[in-house]
Amino acid sequence: MRNAMNRIIEHNAAQQQFQYEEDAQMARLDYTLSDGVMTITHTGVPRPLEGRGIAGDLTRTALDTARREGWKVRPACSYAHAYINRHPEYQDLLP
C-alpha cells in the first residue's frame, strides 16, 4: 500500500505485521488478530529512521486496514494508543 508520503507499506498477514523498509532498515508494526479484533502489540522504527513519520504511517495503514476489514482495534502498544487519541477519526475502531 502506498501512503501520502509515497511510502510502500507491506501488510505481511502471515507474520501479522505491517512493514516498511528504507535504507536497508526495517520498521514494523506487529499485531495479533482474534475474533475480529486487531491488537496492536508493538510499533518499532530503527533509530536511523526515527523522526520521519514512519511509525505514524505504519499505524495509519494498520488502522485503515482494520476499518476496511471490519475489525475492531485494541492498541496495546503505547504508540498506537497515543496515535488513536490524537486522531479522533479512528475512535470508532475501539472495541
**pLDDT by residue (tens digit) across 53-67?**
999 999 999 999 999
Residues in contact with 48: Cβ distance below 8 Å, sequence separation at least 6, in sequence order: 23, 25
> The CATH number of the domain where 55 resides is what?
3.40.630.30
Q: Could you tell me the residue range of the domain that residue 64 belongs to? A: 10-93
Instruction: Tell me whether residue 45 is in a domain.
Output: yes
Instruction: Tell me whether residue 37 is in a domain.
Output: yes
Instruction: Tell me whether residue 32 is in a domain.
Output: yes
Instruction: Say if strands 37-44 and 25-34 run parallel, antiparallel, or are unpaired.
Output: antiparallel
- How many domains does the chain fold into? 1
pLDDT at 11: 97
pLDDT digits (tens, 9 = 90+) for 5-39: 678 999 999 999 999 999 899 999 999 999 999 99
Mean pLDDT of 71-89: 97
Mean pLDDT of 65-72: 98
Cα separations in angstroms, 20 against 42, 71, 73: 14, 22, 21
Instruction: Tell me whether residue 2 is in a domain.
Output: no
Instruction: Tell me whether residue 3 is in a domain.
Output: no
Regarding pTM above 0.85, the answer is yes
Instruction: Tell me whether residue 4 is in a domain.
Output: no
